[in-house]
Structure 1
Amino acid sequence: MAKMDENFAFLVLSIVAEIPSGKVATYGQIAELAGYPQNSRLVGRVLRQVEYYGNYPCHRVVNSQGRCAPNWQEQPELLIAEGVGFTPSNRVALKEFQWQGDF
């Protein structure tokens, strides 16, 4: 899958919409649930353009190490407000807060 298409974008966003408050998912986890396990970066591209698609809880998506998006200052604040915990190294405590749901 070389370029992002609308079907992939809406599939990604429908998965993101299922992440419950107080939980997070990783880009790779969403790519796998979408059926494209090698396309976690493409998931990130979809989420960077989310304002074109509507209101989705994109703040609940972090990288595989639990790091928040580097240029999004509000993301950790939004997660903390939902009760998501962080490690001393400012990463989401994935063992406790990673969403385990199926799509």
Structure 2
Amino acid sequence: MTTLDLDALRTEVRALDYVRGTPAEAAMWREDDADSRANLAIEGMDLNAEDEALFDMLRDEAVPPPLATQIILKLYDHPNADPGLAITPLERAG
């Protein structure tokens, strides 16, 4: 599996045309993420360090959750990803 280049992804995210969340919204999204991560841990599905860093970066950039979902779908080249979203998918190890 290809390692995520967070610096390159952050550059792509910053180039997107989106409305950043307010500080209050970003704080709420962080709390929601913490709850989700705790639930994943309870289910034995902890995020790895790379996934944690990805979600932290998206929150640092105040990316609204619906757009964050689309970024992740595009990053992992999911069939439901928005083809017009300017995010470079990770290369698949072959």
The alignment's TM-score, normalised by the length of structure 1, stands at 0.25
Larger relative CO (CA 8 A, sep 6+): 1 or 2?
2
- What is the TM-score normalised by the length of structure 2? 0.27
Answer 1 or 2: which has greater helix percent: 2
Which has the larger Rg? 2
